[in-house]
Structure 1
Amino acid sequence: MGMGHDHGHSHVPRAADRGMRRRLVIAFGITAIIVIAQAVGSVLTGSLALLTDTAHAAADASGLLVAVIAATMMLRPPSGRRTWGFARIEVIAALGQAVLLLAVGTYAAIEGIRRLFEPSDIPSVELLIFGMIGLVANIAAMAVLASARDSNFNMRAAFLEVLNDALGSMGVIIAAIVIHTTGFQRADTIAGLFIAALILPRAFRLLRETMGVLMEFTPKGVNLDEVREHIMALDHVRDVHDVHASTIGTGLPVLSAHVVVEDRCFESGHAPQILEAVLGCVREHFPVSFDHATIQLETAALRDKESPHMRHA
């Protein structure tokens, strides 16, 4: 029986991870200032749009704080007890942020519908001032996070939260202008519902993606039936079973498979060449870079001794 491991990179924390943490700390500081400013503004104006945007900003700040903690824990190196280190903590953090966004979006939708029937008088000038403060601060936070937004789930969730909050601030500003020029008070409520409409779809998408990682679903773009077919096409391979693929964290997809080869391959010492061919096949034919692949070579007799539930593609 042969075991093959293809480790094309180390999961030791990189300097880039420290840079991402620094960006998150700055963005958290900016967002915390937004929360304080908009909380004061929502009390002074009674605006639903500003109140909703304040709640959204508070969720952003909480999410960013979680992201900072996650980024800090990800800097810890792997150990004997934690062989992947804290690589998956960023997925858990993103899941928490998705839940926060869902809670805020649901609240905004319910309160917005209620306010449609009970509109309040909103001071447009004050609303405009606080909306501008939120927008400028959010643009600053987006600028800090923009270059690293695709680095991992954690950074992506953080950037989406700030982006959504910036769009929410724009909604507040538009509502203030409409109220000031037309006197249409329900513009504030409509802006609040607009913010909710921005929050909920993105929160559901982020929730689905993070749950897919935690449930160890096959990475996007990988068809395990095709993996099996490509390996089966190699010389001396007689069967491929117990094929699994999942994602530990961003940039860490893993693959494992049991590959049955002819008995004479072990007798002739040809098994290592077959193992190399299998790993090369996986690297060549699939868009996901499986730098961590474990291939177990075995004989047909050994396969037949395995439990039936183990012998599946």
Structure 2
Amino acid sequence: MDHHHEDHDDGHSHDDGHSHDDGHSHGVAADADRRWLGLALGLIAVFMAAEVVVGLLAGSLALLSDAAHMLTDAGAIVLALVAMRLAARPPRGGYTFGLKRAEILSAQANGLTMLLLAVWLGVEAVQRLVHPPAVTGWPVLVTALAGILVNVAAAWAMSRANRSSLNVEGAFQHVLNDLFAFIATAVAGVIMVTTGFTRADPIATLVVVVLMIKAGLALVRASGRIFLEAAPPGIEPSALGTRLAGLPDVVEVHDLHVWEITSGEPALSAHVLVAEGGDCHAVRQAIEQLLRREYRITHSTLQVDHAGGDPAVPSGGEAGLDGADPHCTDPHGAMYRPAAT
């Protein structure tokens, strides 16, 4: 009878532990992602250069802000492409998970640059509201309409990539916000052409700023949760612990940790105590099946012990429900037990 299992060949099963059928894929799919991202990058770079020229000639802050936003779009896509290559490298040296979190660094950089750019554009827009400069309406309108088409094409190309990656999603949000920005700029162009109201240009810029702040905060918050190893969205650790403790023969679950290695790759570790006479292997397999089926967690490390005395426990401690557990590395963490019947 097995009293103690720290299963690195079973508890952290590599046959399913590294399955990426949950939407976070590499290999061929990653190559396809790079092609779609490359297409979007080409569209954005060419149009951005033309927009800067038109914006300077027309004196439009809205066009220049759109061009600046497109520059961050291009930067976001470049970071995404670089991070995808880094994440695909196999683990080596001290990087036992490889460089999978490179994409989270990229996503956080995308969010921060969007917020910084929004501050600068907001200040410029307020100044132009107070002292509106002369703006030529027709170039603004025509360029904005062309920008809408370019961003629709770029957004479509990026939607074909794997958006379960926070990195790709971050770059996609850049492009999507730029699409909304061009719509606001086109409306401003129509107003300036028909009424001569030049303050429509900085007002459109402020609309862009609001969109940028919203998207930037969402990216920083999502990437920050991963850096702080918070539970993935949609998984409540206390509910998960209670669910595991309710499985047959489980008498206690503690030292429970659930986090994301990178976006789309949740991981879990836990110490599970099994009733005397219970089958530790069967309990471990039941837990792994539950994690895969209901929580899509395929990376798990489970330490499974019987709840009574353990002959493998060194002197000075005894594993059990009523005594100190020398295997527990988080003695102040929550403990989950079956509901009283």
TM-score by length of 2: 0.84
1:133 Cα deviation from its structure 2 partner: 3.2
Partners of 1:179 and 1:225 in 2: CA distance: 56
Range moving further from structure 2, 192-201 or 67-76: 67-76
Q: What does residue 16 of structure 1 align with?
A: 29
1:125 matched to 2:132? The reply is: no
In 1, the alpha carbon distance for the partners of 2:35 and 2:192 equals 40
Equivalent residues of 2:185, 2:204 under 8 A apart: yes
Partner of 2:333: 312
Higher mean C-alpha deviation, range 275-284 or range 183-192: 275-284
1:151 counterpart SS class: coil
Pairwise CA distance, 1:152 = 1.1
Whole-angstrom distance in 2 between the partners of 1:139 and 1:227: 41
2:91 aligned with 1:91: no
Please say if 1:112 is aligned against 2:125: yes
- Corresponding position of 2:245: 232
Alignment counterpart, residue 61 of structure 1, candidates 49, 74, 80: 74
Give deviations 1:245-300, integer Å, cap 9, x for gaps: 001123211011001123544xxxx321121122233334x3x3011111101244
Indicate the residue corresponding to 2:152 in structure 1: 139
Q: Does residue 48 of structure 1 match 2:84?
A: no
State how far apart, in whole Å, the 2-side matches of 1:70 and 1:308 are. Answer: 33
Which residue of the partner structure matches residue 167 of structure 1? 180
Query: Residues 18 and 75 of structure 1 are in contact (CA less than 8 Å); yes or no, is this contact kept in structure 2?
Result: no
For the Cα contact (< 8 Å) 2:152–2:179, is it kept in 1? Answer: yes
Which residue of structure 2 aligns with residue 244 of structure 1?
257
Q: Counterpart of 2:12 in 1: which secondary structure?
A: strand
Look up the match of 1:256.
Answer: 269
Paired residue for 2:116?
103
Q: Output the CA distance in 1 between the equivalents of 2:175 and 2:297.
A: 32
Q: Which residue of 2 aligns with 1:277?
A: 286
Give me the whole-angstrom Cα distance separating, in 2, the residues matched to 1:222 and 1:145. Answer: 28
Corresponding residue number in structure 2 for 1:297: 304
Number of residues of Structure 1 aligned to a counterpart in Structure 2 = 307
Aligned AA for 2:73?
A: D
Question: Could you say which residue in structure 2 is the equivalent of 1:223?
Answer: 236
Higher helix proportion, which one? 1
* Residue equivalent to 1:5: 12
Q: 1:6 offset after TM fit, Å?
A: 3.8
In the TM superposition, residue 33 of structure 1 has moved relative to its aligned partner by 1.5
Structure 2: distance between partners of 1:164 and 1:224: 33
Q: What SS does the aligned partner of 1:304 have?
A: coil
Q: Secondary structure at 2:255's aligned position in 1? A: strand
Whether the aligned pair in 1 keeps the contact of 2:58 and 2:136 (CA below 8 Å) is yes
Go from structure 1 to structure 2 and tell me whether the alpha carbon gap of 1:216 and 1:140 turns closer, same or farther (over 3 Å shift): same
Q: Counterpart of 2:217?
A: 204
Q: 3-state SS of the aligned residue for 2:304?
A: strand
Letter in 1 for 2:302: I
Q: Say yes or no: does 1:72 pair with 2:88.
A: no
SS at structure 2 position matched to 1:148: coil
Offset at 1:107?
1.4
**Residue 315 of structure 2 corresponds to which residue in structure 1?**
none
Give distance in 2, aligned partners of 1:56 and 1:166. Answer: 10
Q: State the Cα RMSD in Å.
A: 2.0
Give, in whole Å, the separation in 2 of the partners of 1:235 and 1:34.
62
Aligned equivalents of 1:71 and 1:281: distance in 2? 30
Q: Which amino acid aligns with 2:90?
A: P
Flag structure 1 segments of 5+ consecutive residues without an equivalent.
none
Distance of 2:211 and 2:154 partners within structure 1: 18
Is residue 191 of structure 2 the alignment partner of residue 184 of structure 1?
A: no
- 1:128–1:176 contact (8 Å) kept in structure 2: yes
Q: Give the conservation status (yes or no) of the 8 Å contact 2:12–2:299.
A: yes
**How far apart are the structure 2 equivalents of 1:170 and 1:308?**
54
Distance in 2 of aligned mates of 1:272 and 1:143: 48
